[in-house]
Structure 1
Amino acid sequence: MRKIYVLDTNVLLHDPLSLYAFDDNEIIIPSVVLEEIDSKKRLADEIGRNARNISRELDAMRTQGPLHAGVPLPGGGLLKVEMNHRRFVKVQELFGEMTNDNRILAVALNYHMEEQESDDPRPVVLVSKDVLVRVKADVLGIVAQDYLSDRIATDTDQYTGYFTMLVHPSVIDEFYSTRSLNIKSLGLKTTLHPNEFVILRDELGTSKSALLKVTSDGQRLEPLHMSNDPVWGITARNAQQRMALELLLSDDIPLVTLTGRAGTGKTLLTLAAGLLKTEDEHRFKKLLIARPVVPMGKDIGYLPGEKDEKLRPWMQPIYDNLEYLFDTKKAGDLDKILMGMGSIQVEALTYIRGRSIPGQFILIDEAQNLSKHEVKTIVSRVGENSKIVLLGDPEQIDHPYLDSQSNGLTYLVERFKEEGISGHVTLEKGERSRLAQLATEKL
């Protein structure tokens, strides 16, 4: 049965192409949504870009007919701009002032009431990324849901970058003797991806095990190439950190993504690998470190000083890790070291658009706060002989329109898991401290 979808403003600002994601159903855009989009179109960030994009999409549709009467969509559906919020007495009685959100609810409620009176009522669904709008809709008896079309994977299906398998001990013995295994010989029911890791454990219960990696062509399993020697004083403390260092130190994998909770060692391991490749091996001419400027909690406003002074509070987590790696004792020592080296550059992602970055080791921290478009912009900046590493915790998102399944980092992981030039690992065990580990588990 065809449905009627009423779209909230945040759906269009999150994904301007959401108009085409509802197949052959009818899409209703309340007129107040156009006003909200108009108020955002002059912004210089991605919200402003999306507002301009959706404005152009709607303007192009006008050539097919008046939007208030409805225009056909490519998927067989119908798009209509609706002013039907005149009867908003029930909404006003429940929620008081007629805010823009309440006007959108009134449109959905009126459609719902009209459909209930028809001989063949169609379901009316309000689509919003605002949790409270969905709660209000439920109070009014309207079906409401989040916008799900852009979610690349569910929580249970997200790619972790490694796979654990119980095998007969003879298989482990064969690997240690030949240093290679054919994937087909394992009889796996699941598909292994290039550069994915496999942990073989003895099905008979002994401590015998092996850690392997899928070759870049996805055909065979091979041993890890990197030893477990310290990297700038940092040694892998668990299997996932060992996997991460294997990817970070490999010159054949220019794109690496690491996810995991706070304290799992993502940033520290990447900085150590970057310093080794830049300062010791001279594989790259510069170590570029960047992160999005997104506050946790209330924004502290404008900061005084030059660009570097303004960025320092936002980049302090990076400097904390560098102080640990350089083992600085006094305040100001790190600044002197960085000034003397000249090969380490710390920047906000605001300045990366339009650049081409060849021959550098690029670290993008807090990438879970990036949208799909922003991730595309960043990765497409990478020039020849560069390596880019994106880090983040999909459970800690400060962006108002992103979640653990729709953020740019998760999107990148899922899109590139089939590619031989990329690798991913989800770090699980916290190594910062026992207290930090308990905090992530219990709070």
Structure 2
Amino acid sequence: MVKQDKDHKVYVLDTNVLLHEPLAYLSFQEHDVVVPMTVLEELDHIKDRKSDVSRDARVAIRGLDDVLRDATPEQMLEGVALPTLKLENHRTPSSGKLIIVNDHLFPDSISGLPGNENDHRIINCAVHLQTQYSDKKVLLVTKDINMRLKAKGAGLKYVEDYRTDQLIDDIALLTSGFKKVDGDFWQDVGECQTQQNGRYTIHEVPKSLVPDVFCNEYLIDDTNHFAARVVGYDDEHIRLKDLGVERLMHRQAWGVKPKNINQGMALDALLDTDIELVILTGPAGCGKTLLALASALEMIIEKGIYDKVIVTRNTPEIAESIGFLPGTEEEKMAPWLAAITDTLEVLHKHDESPVTSRNYIMEKANIQFKSVNFMRGRSIQNAVVILDESQNLTASQLKTIITRCGEGTKLICTGNLAQIDSNYLTPVTSGLTYIVERFKDFEGSATINLNGVVRSRLASFAEENL
């Protein structure tokens, strides 16, 4: 059943790995992948639920069926060759197998865990394989921390998290989108080439000053005067767009002015039509939604650059209840997008009738509320798309939305990694973290971490102390 090659490993997959990435078994091309019968049973129960993971369960089942469809029962137990992956125009030959194991046949006494729980059966299966193939490295792969602890306690030598889509090990390593240089930046520069590009000045400085920059990263220093954005670089030089702190702090959109330098950098990126993707991260109350919406209104109503605003967000744990809300799709989405309507009222709180102004602006800017569930298959043109609460989305869900954006569309993703509602995501595995790292060196994207709470003194204290 299992190859006897010394370096050949045996991976036992837990159900949550296939829910996290339905085709995860393809990541182990040169090794054997074991899917216990209990995992298939759990996928079967989940696929019919009215929840956000039911689709992933169905995709996993269909994927397994594609590999095993023509296999006989004997071949399934022996193992069926994993499909060959095509990576960057090169086909990587697969030497691994996909094996279905009937873990119900193994005695519970192997691991010592009671056999009435699915997690225990899967651990039991891994321990049994470890005993059966003592010369092999048998690994249980699960995203359940408690299950990893129990597996080690039951005698399993190797237990791992599934990390192929995890680009960083610690959320503290996630880029903030800007760097603060110690002291006075220009003191260390010396001579540099400078050219005028329209209203802006472009400087070319040695890369040795800031060696690890990326496209559209902002640079500031301790003088509170210097601010620039990286617009290009090579092995020797960095091209900087000179912005200046004073100019950033005087940027405004729809009457909103930045309250700190982070918001100034965010507004600069939001109002730049050459940047098609802006990712705003930070704690509750730092102004993510306010800046995104104000910039959208400025570019649509005042400047006429885009035609409409599409506001969308994930609806965690309410996929089964959204259909029972009365009205159209937008009316069903209204409770989940109250943050947008609240923000519109804040932007017009000094008007004689804020509610009337809000309704007028919603019509004037053609603001549409859409559920992420219904974005698949669309092609969005000449619009500003605001993806709110994007920390609750997986990388594949975010890919679905980003690939919907057609010509002349700007996507603004906002999210707070401290407020993840999904049971299947953590800050390091969130799709928001994934796209921040994947897009950080893309010339058409910018990331800004708005790390200061500006909502109120109460909100600031709660963010820091609760």
TM over 0.5: yes
- Mapped pair 1:231 → 2:253: yes
| Alignment-derived partner of residue 191 in structure 1 | 212
Query: What whole-Å deviation, never above 9, does each CA across 1:305-343 have from its counterpart, x for those lacking one?
Result: 213443221111111111101116778546643465362
Deviation of 1:389 (Å): 0.7
Which residue identity does 1:137 align to in structure 2? A
Q: How does 1:142-157 map to 2 (within 5 A)?
A: 142=156, 143-154=158-169, 155-157=171-173
| Alignment-derived partner of residue 100 in structure 2 | 81
* Contact 1:92–1:98 (Cα < 8 Å) also in 2: no
Q: How does 1:13-92 map to 2 (within 5 A)?
A: 13-41=19-47, 47-62=53-68, 63=70, 66-73=75-82, 74-90=93-109
Q: How does 1:352-367 map to 2 (within 5 A)?
A: 352-367=375-390
- Mapped partners of 1:159, 1:273: distance in 2: 23
Change beyond 3 A, Cα 1:102–1:221: same
* Contact 2:296–2:309 (Cα < 8 Å) also in 1: yes
| Alignment-derived partner of residue 369 in structure 1 | 392
Q: How does 1:357-436 map to 2 (within 5 A)?
A: 357-436=380-459
Which residue identity does 1:139 align to in structure 2? G
- Mapped partners of 1:91, 1:292: distance in 2: 43
Deviation of 1:346 (Å): 2.4
Deviation of 1:34 (Å): 1.7
| Alignment-derived partner of residue 231 in structure 2 | 215
- Mapped pair 1:108 → 2:126: yes
Which residue identity does 1:265 align to in structure 2? G
- Mapped partners of 1:217, 1:198: distance in 2: 14
Which residue identity does 1:130 align to in structure 2? D
- Mapped partners of 1:42, 1:9: distance in 2: 15
- Mapped partners of 2:325, 2:98: distance in 1: 48
- Mapped partners of 2:267, 2:204: distance in 1: 24
TM-score (norm 2): 0.82
- Mapped partners of 1:82, 1:198: distance in 2: 55
Deviation of 1:188 (Å): 3.9
Q: How does 1:116-127 map to 2 (within 5 A)?
A: 118=134, 120=135, 122-127=136-141
Change beyond 3 A, Cα 1:263–1:132: same
| Alignment-derived partner of residue 305 in structure 2 | 283
Change beyond 3 A, Cα 1:383–1:301: closer
Match of 2:463 among 425, 434, 440: 440
Counterpart of 2:173 in 1: which secondary structure? coil
Query: What whole-Å deviation, never above 9, does each CA across 1:257-301 have from its counterpart, x for those lacking one?
Result: 1111211111111111111111111111212211111259x9977
Query: What whole-Å deviation, never above 9, does each CA across 1:143-187 have from its counterpart, x for those lacking one?
Result: 43221111122324322211222365534797899744324x251
* Contact 2:112–2:154 (Cα < 8 Å) also in 1: no
Change beyond 3 A, Cα 1:208–1:439: closer
381-390 or 399-408: which moved more? 399-408
* Contact 1:172–1:200 (Cα < 8 Å) also in 2: no
* Contact 2:345–2:354 (Cα < 8 Å) also in 1: no
Counterpart of 1:199 in 2: which secondary structure? strand
Change beyond 3 A, Cα 1:257–1:190: same
- Mapped partners of 1:94, 1:442: distance in 2: 40
| Alignment-derived partner of residue 89 in structure 2 | none
Counterpart of 1:67 in 2: which secondary structure? helix
| Alignment-derived partner of residue 13 in structure 2 | 7
Aligned positions, number:
431
* Contact 1:27–1:78 (Cα < 8 Å) also in 2: yes
Change beyond 3 A, Cα 1:388–1:216: farther
- Mapped partners of 2:99, 2:145: distance in 1: 24
208-217 or 316-325: which moved more? 208-217
217-226 or 186-195: which moved more? 217-226
| Alignment-derived partner of residue 269 in structure 1 | 291
Deviation of 1:247 (Å): 0.4
Counterpart of 1:194 in 2: which secondary structure? coil
* Contact 1:85–1:110 (Cα < 8 Å) also in 2: no
Match of 2:179 among 138, 144, 163: 163
Change beyond 3 A, Cα 1:390–1:104: same
Which residue identity does 1:393 align to in structure 2? N
Change beyond 3 A, Cα 1:436–1:100: same
59-68 or 344-353: which moved more? 59-68
25-34 or 229-238: which moved more? 229-238
Structure 2 residue runs without a partner (length 5+): 1-6, 83-92, 196-200
| Alignment-derived partner of residue 245 in structure 1 | 267
Q: How does 1:308-347 map to 2 (within 5 A)?
A: 308-327=330-349, 332-333=355-356, 336-338=359-361, 340-341=363-364, 343-347=366-370
Q: Percent identity?
A: 34
Change beyond 3 A, Cα 1:306–1:329: farther
Counterpart of 2:347 in 1: which secondary structure? helix
- Mapped partners of 2:232, 2:362: distance in 1: 38
Counterpart of 2:23 in 1: which secondary structure? helix
